Amino acid sequence: MMLEHVLVLSAYLFFTDIYGLITSRNMVRALMCLELILNAVNINFVTFYDLFDSRQLEGNIFSIFAIVIVAAEASIGSAIVSLIYRKKKSTCINQSTFLTK
Amino acid sequence: MKSISIYLSLILHRTDLLGPIHNFLLVFLGSSLILGSLGMVLLTNPIYSALSLGLVLVCISLFYILSNSHFVAAAQLFIYVGAINVLILFAVMFMNGSEYYKDFNLWTIGNGLTSLVCTSILVSLITTILDTSWYGIIWTTRSNQIIEQDLLSNSQQIGIHLAIDFFLPFEFISIILLVALIGAIVVARQ
């Protein structure tokens, strides 16, 4: 009972943030929704690590690696967003000529 | 989480507290997670949505404590709430705030189509989850001669795995972090 509830919760989080990522007009909101997508996947990993035999599953290790990769990606993403804002003075996500001089 | 429940049950002189505490906390965290993610997507003020993101990340960290993964909970709290959420708040405050209070939340056709597709895929995934017999999956267990898994805490298990089985990914992760930091500094410089 508990496993299905947690999986349904993480699936709901995943699809809510995919919706937020696709329909956001703001670049920072898209970045925030991307973080939550990866967090939903981490919830799945940790739940399967907890509720099954944990001799061969190393889900905790993989979720730690995923957290570290997300930290690197968030730093680069916010650096790119600040560069785009500095050049274009607007954060509308519909523009396609972001980084041209 | 089990030690906390045993401690509480010893204080309150009741021995059947593990299940109800677990269920109550699960329901509480799940509802705050649902409300926080909805608030993050639907709120127009970007600072409110960044604070809702912080709430969702704290709820996920408490959920990891419920799942006996204390190290991952602490890592989540430090890295996500402490570093990434603060970084996103800086990025939000760095943008000019005067253009965001117009009515940007118009319900376009793209929004409706996306919500329809997302809801349909979510419903199909939920029916798949509820139809799968998860406990019929048998994992073959091999005897592990090096460590006794039940006597160690979560941090010790992770340390042993990182040092023995996952040594190469550990080194690569540190190189990735170094390269990402150098890249972020070079990009954000003038």
> Comparing B7 with A4, which gets the higher pLDDT?
A4
* A42: pLDDT strictly greater than 90: yes
To test the contact with chain B by mutation, choose from A18, A35, A36 the residue with the greatest count of B C-beta atoms within 10 A, namely A36
The number of angstroms, rounded, from the C-alpha of B174 to the middle of its chain's C-alpha atoms is 22
| Placement of tokens 């998860």 in the chain | B134
Q: What percent of chain A has pLDDT over 70?
A: 82
Supply the pLDDT for residue B49.
Answer: 93
Class of domain B1-96: mainly alpha
Supply the pLDDT for residue B133.
Answer: 77
Q: Stretch B33-40: mean pLDDT, rounded?
A: 94
> Is the complex ipTM more than 0.95?
no
* B45: pLDDT strictly greater than 80: yes
Is B41's Cβ below 8 Å from some Cβ in A?
yes
C-alpha triplet A35, A38, A44: angle, nearest 5°: 140
* A38: pLDDT strictly greater than 90: yes
> Comparing B49 with A101, which gets the higher pLDDT?
B49
Supply the pLDDT for residue A86.
Answer: 82
Q: Where are the domains of chain B?
A: 1-96, 154-189
Supply the pLDDT for residue B156.
Answer: 83
What DSSP string runs through B69-131?
Answer: -HHHHHHIIIIIIIIIHHHHHHHHHHS-GGGSSS------HHHHHHHHHHHHHHHHHHHHHHH
Domains in chain A, please, with CATH? 3-99 (1.10.287.3510)
Number of residues in chain A? 101
Least reliable range by pLDDT among A52-66, B29-43, B117-131 = A52-66
Q: Which of A50-64, B72-86, B101-115, B159-173 has the highest mean pLDDT?
A: B72-86
Mean pLDDT over the full length of chain B: 83
* A41: pLDDT strictly greater than 90: yes
> Comparing A83 with B50, which gets the higher pLDDT?
B50
Quick one: which of A50, A45, A63, A40 has its CA closest to A2? A50
Kindly determine whether residue B122 and residue A31, on different chains, have CB atoms separated by under 8 Å.
no
Interface of B with A in 118-137 (CB under 8 A): 118-119, 121-122, 125-126, 129-130, 134, 137
Supply the pLDDT for residue B142.
Answer: 45
CA distance A86 to A89: 6
If residue A87 lies in a helix (H) or strand (E), which one and from where to where?
Answer: helix A59-88
Q: Kindly report, residue by residue over B68-101, the tens digit of the pLDDT.
A: 889 999 999 999 999 999 999 998 888 765 555 5
Supply the pLDDT for residue B96.
Answer: 65
Nearest CA in chain B to A85: B95
Q: Stretch B51-68: mean pLDDT, rounded?
A: 94
Supply the pLDDT for residue B186.
Answer: 92
Its pTM surpasses 0.90: no
Supply the pLDDT for residue B161.
Answer: 82
Between A16, A36, A58, which is nearest B161 by CB? A58
Give residue A91's pLDDT band: very low, low, confident or very high (50, 70, 90). low
Q: How many CB atoms lie within 10 A of CB B110?
A: 10
Quick one: which of B135, B2, B155, B161 has its CA closest to A53? B135
Supply the pLDDT for residue B143.
Answer: 45
Kindly determine whether residue A36 and residue B134, on different chains, have CB atoms separated by under 8 Å.
no
- Dig out the tokens for B26 from the structure: 């699960």
To test the contact with chain A by mutation, choose from B18, B33, B68, B140 the residue with the greatest count of A C-beta atoms within 10 A, namely B33
Kindly determine whether residue B173 and residue A35, on different chains, have CB atoms separated by under 8 Å.
no
* B177: pLDDT strictly greater than 50: yes
Least reliable range by pLDDT among A51-65, A73-87, B60-74 = A51-65
